[in-house]
Amino acid sequence: MRLIFIALLLISSAGQAADCLLRGTGDLGIIIERAAGSLKVVDTTHRKELFRVKGLGDLSHASAVYSRDARYAYIFGRDGGLSKVDLLCGRLVKRVVQGGNSIGGAISQDGRLIAVSNYEPGGVKLFSAETLDLVADIPATQTPKGKGAKTVGLVDAPGQRFVFGLYDTHEIWVLDMSNPQAPQLTRFKDAGLQPYDGLITPDGRYYIAGLFGEDGLTLLDLWHLEKGPTRILSHYGKGKQQLPVYKMPHLEGWAVAGDQTFLPAIGHHEVLVVNRNSWQATGRIPVYGQPVFAIARPDGRQVWVNFAFPHNDTIQVIDTETLKVIKTLKPGKGALHMEFSPRGEEVWISIRDQDLVKIFDTATLKQIGSLPADKPSGIFFTARAHKTGL
């Protein structure tokens, strides 16, 4: 009897192991299905789906980061859910609802901490990457209405730090988690009106916050915190009527090519070209609508741009040498997100209203494949696991 029992146990655990894949994860990725609260695990080499993982809650504004072994994805959902998904087994490992309304997250330099930024109640919470147990809670400054300010633009930075903005109180905070028991906060007040998103340069040195409330951006040199934040590109939209913004731009994904960087201009149909030594605008490229993402192909030769409603059926490709739009693609309504393969020969674009992810060859600029997905939004490949700020 006992023997049979043990044999059964062996069979069932063997069965479980067989569900998991024995392979590397370097060419895997996830596609967020925003309406269904699910995601797809995909193999980018064979352009096929491996698993579908459900039960991730409200993913209307989801983002994801990867563990440093690139086996686990951490997904931050709108409903405050933080989910840990095992790519090799196609399984939700753990899910905690950590706050009322979250907007994004980051993983620490050493991969041990997950930070989540929240709108309501505003603040940042830190969790063990392994267990998702709460490690620290950093509430935001109270607004006059008695609520914590919305925290935005959270990124990881070298030195086991995190950097983020406070939308309602116009601050930027640097959180040092070198000692998880004693978080160290550096607060910068008057850091620019209504920061709505932020990015960090790939070397981890500069944090840049986009501002909704004023023309320009805020720059913080993380090598020299004593200098504090400075304004750059003030009045870049001067003399021009700012248009209503139907979708807030995203600053994630630093588009850099040589000395030039490319940023979506808020409230204008333009991509800004900025010199990254002087932080001066050296050009503006007229585009089809208000840019949401401006993302460089990994080799820096092209920048791909998508647009806010009502122009979100279009993608434009900019040649970074001539600073001209070389291609206007019409992949379909709801072209929400783009992700390049690690070395840039392909880009995957989610087309929400067609329930498709379309794959383009970045040399010929032609579609070479597609994958079905239910109202796809964010696409995240595991190459992000080893990049600061992603």
Partner 1 sequence: MVGAALALFTLAGIADSAVARKTEILHLLKHDCGSCHGMTLQGGLGPSLRPERLRLFSEAQLAIVILHGRPGTPMPPWKPFLTEQEALWLAGLLKKGIEP
> What backbone phi and psi angles, to 5 degrees, belong to 6?
-65, -40
Residue 144 CB, shortest distance to ligand HEC, in Å, is: 13
The nearer residue to ligand HEC, 167 or 188, going by C-beta atoms, is 167
Residue choice 248, 281, 323, 371 for contact with ligand HEC (CB under 6 A): 248
Q: Near ligand HEC by CB under 6 A, which window of 107-115, 142-150, 222-230, 243-251?
A: 243-251
The nearer residue to partner 1, 34 or 384, going by C-beta atoms, is 34
- Binds 288: which of ligand HEC, partner 1, none (CB < 5-8 Å by kind): none
Evaluate whether 82 touches 114 at the Cβ level (below 8 Å).
Answer: yes
Residue choice 186, 246, 281, 344 for contact with ligand HEC (CB under 6 A): 246
The nearer residue to partner 1, 25 or 290, going by C-beta atoms, is 290
Residue choice 309, 325, 344, 365 for contact with partner 1 (CB under 8 A): 309
The nearer residue to ligand HEC, 151 or 261, going by C-beta atoms, is 151
Taking the C-alpha atoms of residue 69 and residue 85, their distance in angstroms, rounded to an integer, is 13
Residue 244 CB, shortest distance to ligand HEC, in Å, is: 8
Residue 120 CB, shortest distance to ligand HEC, in Å, is: 13
Residue carrying structure tokens 């239910």: 374
Taking the C-alpha atoms of residue 211 and residue 357, their distance in angstroms, rounded to an integer, is 31
Is residue 4 helix, strand or coil?
Answer: helix
CA dihedral 210, 216, 221, 226 (to 10 degrees): -110
Those residues whose C-beta lies under 8 Å from the C-beta of residue 235, and which sit 6 or more positions away, are 215, 216
Size of the site for partner 1 (CB under 8 A): 24
Residue 101 CB, shortest distance to partner 1, in Å, is: 6
Q: Tell me if 245 contacts partner 1 by CB under 8 A.
A: yes
> What backbone phi and psi angles, to 5 degrees, belong to 5?
-60, -45
**What is the contact mask toward partner 1 in residues 164 to 183, using x (rule: CB under 8 A)?**
---x----------------
Residue 95 CB, shortest distance to ligand HEC, in Å, is: 28
Instruction: Classify burial at 273, counting beta carbons within 10 Å of its beta carbon; exposed 0-12, middle 13-18, buried 19 or more.
Output: buried
- DSSP labels for 62-82? -EEEE-TTSSEEEEE-TTSEE
**Cβ neighbour number for residue 145 with a 10 Å cutoff:** 6
The nearer residue to partner 1, 297 or 352, going by C-beta atoms, is 352
In the chain, the N- to C-terminal Cα span, in Å, equals 53
Residue 205 CB, shortest distance to partner 1, in Å, is: 28
**Cβ neighbour number for residue 19 with a 10 Å cutoff:** 11
Residue 247 CB, shortest distance to ligand HEC, in Å, is: 6
Residue choice 21, 89, 136, 245 for contact with ligand HEC (CB under 6 A): 245
Here the tokens at position 18 are: 């067989």
Residue 312 CB, shortest distance to partner 1, in Å, is: 9
Sheet holding 122-128, edge to edge: 102-107, 113-119, 122-128, 134-139
Q: Tell me if 244 contacts partner 1 by CB under 8 A.
A: yes
Q: Tell me if 147 contacts ligand HEC by CB under 6 A.
A: no
- Per-residue b/e over 197-231, b at no fewer than 16 CB within 10 Å? bbbbbeebebbbbbbbeebbbbbbebeeeeeebeb
Q: Near ligand HEC by CB under 6 A, which window of 144-152, 199-207, 244-252, 339-347?
A: 244-252
The nearer residue to partner 1, 144 or 310, going by C-beta atoms, is 310
The nearer residue to partner 1, 205 or 247, going by C-beta atoms, is 247
- Binds 92: which of ligand HEC, partner 1, none (CB < 5-8 Å by kind): none
Q: Tell me if 246 contacts partner 1 by CB under 8 A.
A: yes
- DSSP labels for 329-353? E---S-EEEEEE-TTSSEEEEEEGG
Stated length of the chain: 390
- Bridge partners, 117 (sequence order): 104, 124
Contact residues: partner 1, CB under 8 A: 34-35, 58, 60-61, 78-79, 101, 103, 119-120, 150, 167, 196, 212, 244-248, 309-310, 334, 352
Contacts with ligand HEC by CB under 6 A lie at 245-248
